[in-house]
Amino acid sequence: MERMNEASPPGGRVRLAGSGRPGARHGGRLTCVNPFLPAPFAPLQLYPSPLSPSRNFHHGVELRRVLHGKRRNKMRFPGFVLAGVAAVSLSPVLAQEAIDARQLYADNCAGCHQGGRVGALLFPPLTKERLGALSNNSVSAMIMTGIPGTLMPPWVGKLSADEITALATLIRTNSADQLDWTLEQAKNSLKVLVDEKSLPAAPTYKDKADVMDLMAVMQRGRHAQEPESRVVFYDGATNTRVGEIPVRRAPHILRYHPTNPRWAYVKTDTAEIYKIDLYSMQAVRSIETALSGPFFDLSWDGKWIAAGSIVPGKIMILDADTLEPVKQIKVASKDAEGKDVEGFASTVRASSVGGNVFAVAARTLGEVWVVEPNKPGTPVTQISVKDPGETSWYLYDSYTSQNQRYMYLTDMLPNNKIKVIDLVEKKYLGSIPSGCIPHVGSGSVLETKRGTLYFSPHQGSPKDCSGGSGITVWNEKGEFVKDIPIGGTTTMQMASNPNAPYLVVDARQKDGGELKFIDKETLEVVKTVKVGGTTGYPEYTRDGRYVYVAAGYMGDHLRIYDARTFEMVAEDRVIAPGGTFAHARVLWGGVKGAPERPLGTAFDKLPQTRK
């Protein structure tokens, strides 16, 4: 590696910008490409400093600029890491051959970059088609040091030099693997962790606690795996930690049982599902439903789970009580020329309409599949959500109207729309225009003088993702109402509660994230609160008194704010926190901001004003 000249800043610097080979010296900088970001590749500045590599600061950065390659970020790391790059390049070949690189990848990388290295959204495929032109040294260096502005952590100290070299060789010399996971394999992976007959009859974590006040926070962990990965539970009435459930890989989505308050279910990025007893705060069963993909939901009668996966591209139906898999459905369709095309599942949304159904988005096929688990044979209806002129789709996340009849589904780049599906009639109704990269998250609804309103954050102008993030607002008729400008680099999640005076949305900034508080009637931002870290995933407590928010990578804290005074009232260390899930969601019909109703309410019987 080229020695830094005396014109370099203190400690020297390395700039990764253009090719995988050492380039000309420019003030002590070294140029190479960053292949782990979506194309087009963007310049990356690395500044060594006497910090631990585990403390690399990956600050929040606009999603739109990452996608378009329009960002310049800085990452601090110690000088000895640079020496480690040379060590990796000299690792003995025989040692590498003794390492099962594919298993190493599955154990450490598949949660983000997916099984078989196929990639997804911000996690590009790791294949020879993408990386083959680069040297092993440059790829190894980026595995070691991580990628700033992303969730990619430094792996130096976590993996050995030989392991890093083996991974680099695998991903730059091989195409994506075509992997499968069968119903029989899933059945064989089912584990009974605790005899449910031994469980207590009431919550034991706190005297006189109301289990419906629980708040679950996903602790992803720095490397998205054990021992740091776990689900952390808080009593939303007192804002105290009351339990935590270790999981093998990063937890992503949590669902509560809609009729029995003692159960919750969590799915990891590598498609494992855990059944959790909330009374004793322990996992009682687990199963591997696929190789990667966190999407799932629980039917509103509490009988079934639908788990969607990326690898393989399938939907698995499981018995919610036992986690026994009962059916597997391949995600595939026909293209415009009638040829068979394979896809994969993304968002899974349960609805109580039609005797309980699941609506599953086939992400790149431009379809929504309605699965009916209570009918013989588990029939599936495929609904096209393609608008005229569209040639590609990226269906991502969704939520439903309060009576669960209408599904609001994001179609990200290049279409930038909210697509509306009638789950009773099983038909596509049309789309609502949105800003760039809409992301409804868990959904938000609000009763106002204008009527019932629904919301979706987005990242900027639909044309080029410029202009700052905002919120698309529409009414029950599916009519666009307004766009609320938010500012910030990305806006990903909202929170609302009928007992709280404000809508809340995260706004990530280069120097740390913020919460924006929005007046419910004027729909204008009235207060900005600095949170820090990669701010995200705000969630109101059941009573609307407090807002939980992640001060994420590398903020590493959960912060709790008074929804009226805007003051922080509590915080707790959570390593790389993800989403927060209020138990009260099942009382809201799965829609944040809806009024609380008794457990077991037939939400499909609620009135709807859409005409």
CATH for 26:
1.10.760.10
Average pLDDT over residues 411-440: 96
Whether residue 431 is contained in a domain is answered as: no
Whether residue 231 is contained in a domain is answered as: no
Whether residue 78 is contained in a domain is answered as: yes
% the chain with pLDDT above 70: 83
So what's the pLDDT on residue 150?
Answer: 75
How many angstroms separate the CA atoms of 250 and 268, rounded?
Answer: 5
Cβ-in-10-Å burial (0-12, 13-18, 19+) of 200 comes to: exposed
Whether residue 585 is contained in a domain is answered as: no
Whether residue 321 is contained in a domain is answered as: no
Mean pLDDT over the full length of the chain = 85
State the pairing for strand pair 406-411/395-400.
antiparallel
Least confident of 181-185, 534-538, 558-562: 534-538
The residue with greater pLDDT, 573 or 52, is 573
Query: What is the biggest distance separating any 2 CA atoms in the chain, rounded to whole angstroms?
Result: 75
Average pLDDT over residues 146-175: 92
Per-residue pLDDT of 7-26, as tens digits, reads: 333 333 333 333 333 333 33
**CA 88 vs CA 57, 79, 143, 162: distances in Å:** 23, 15, 11, 7
Q: Does the pLDDT of residue 34 top 50, yes or no? A: no
pLDDT category, 92, cuts 50, 70, 90? very low
So what's the pLDDT on residue 48?
Answer: 34
So what's the pLDDT on residue 42?
Answer: 35
**CA 99 vs CA 96, 102, 154, 179, 489: distances in Å:** 5, 9, 20, 20, 41
Number of domains in the chain: 1
Whether residue 221 is contained in a domain is answered as: no
DSSP 478-521: S-EEEEEE--SSB---EE--TTSSEEEEEEB-TT--EEEEEETT
Per-residue pLDDT of 540-591, as tens digits, reads: 999 999 999 998 766 799 999 999 999 999 999 999 999 999 999 999 999 9
This prediction has a pTM of 0.84
Average pLDDT over residues 306-320: 98
The residue with greater pLDDT, 60 or 196, is 196
So what's the pLDDT on residue 96?
Answer: 53
Q: Which element (helix H / strand E) includes 190? A: none
So what's the pLDDT on residue 9?
Answer: 32
Average pLDDT over residues 71-86: 41
Average pLDDT over residues 167-176: 96
Q: Does the pLDDT of residue 103 top 50, yes or no? A: yes
How many angstroms separate the CA atoms of 197 and 491, rounded?
Answer: 45
Whether residue 125 is contained in a domain is answered as: yes
pLDDT category, 4, cuts 50, 70, 90? very low
> Which residue, 138, 144, 114, is CA-closest to 16?
138
So what's the pLDDT on residue 147?
Answer: 82
Average pLDDT over residues 333-355: 94
Average pLDDT over residues 484-500: 88
> Which residue, 379, 424, 430, is CA-closest to 409?
430
Q: Are 526 and 533 in contact (CB under 8 A)?
A: no
Q: Does the pLDDT of residue 97 top 70, yes or no? A: no
**CA 445 vs CA 113, 469, 563: distances in Å:** 33, 19, 17
Whether residue 257 is contained in a domain is answered as: no
Q: Does the pLDDT of residue 608 top 90, yes or no? A: no
Average pLDDT over residues 417-421: 98
So what's the pLDDT on residue 554?
Answer: 62
* Secondary structure letter of residue 429 according to DSSP: E
Q: Does the pLDDT of residue 63 top 80, yes or no? A: no
Q: Does the pLDDT of residue 28 top 60, yes or no? A: no
Residue 544's φ and ψ, nearest 5 degrees, are: 75, 10
**Domain region containing 160:** 14-173
Residue 52's φ and ψ, nearest 5 degrees, are: -65, 145
How many angstroms separate the CA atoms of 5 and 28, rounded?
Answer: 5
So what's the pLDDT on residue 64?
Answer: 33
Least confident of 129-133, 313-317, 370-374, 549-553: 549-553
Least confident of 29-43, 227-241, 511-525: 29-43
% the chain with pLDDT above 90: 72
pLDDT category, 610, cuts 50, 70, 90? low
So what's the pLDDT on residue 2?
Answer: 34
How many angstroms separate the CA atoms of 444 and 397, rounded?
Answer: 13
pLDDT category, 120, cuts 50, 70, 90? confident
Least confident of 274-283, 313-322, 330-339, 461-470: 461-470
